Structure 1
Amino acid sequence: MALQFWAAPVCPYAQRGWIALKETGAQHEYKTVDLHDKSPEFVELYRKVVQDPVANAKVPVLVDGELEITESPVVAEYILNKFGPSTGILPSDPAQLAKARLWADLWGSYVGPAQTAILQADTKAKVAEATDKMVAALKVMDAFLRAQGSTEGGAFFLGGRYSIAEVLTTSLLQRALVYPKAYRGVDLRQLVKDNKLERFEAWMEAAFARPSAQETHPDEAKLVEHGVKFTKPMLD
Structure 2
Amino acid sequence: MVPVVQLFARDVPRLEFPAGKDVLQLVWCPLIHPEDPAGAALPRLYWRNETETETVAAGLLRDIPEPGEGEYEEDFMPRPCTVSPTPAVEYPKWDLPEELRQALLPRLRELEERFGYWYSEVASALQNKVGGYPAWTQPPNWPHCARGHRMEHLLSVTGEPGYGRWLPLDEHRPGDTQPLWQSPADPAVLDTLGPDMDMGDAGGIYIFLCCQCPDLPYAHRFDCH
Smaller-chain TM-score range?
A: under 0.3
- TM-score with structure 1 length normalisation? 0.25
- TM-score with structure 2 length normalisation? 0.26
Considering fraction of residues, name the structure with more helix: 1
Considering fraction of residues, name the structure with more strand: 2
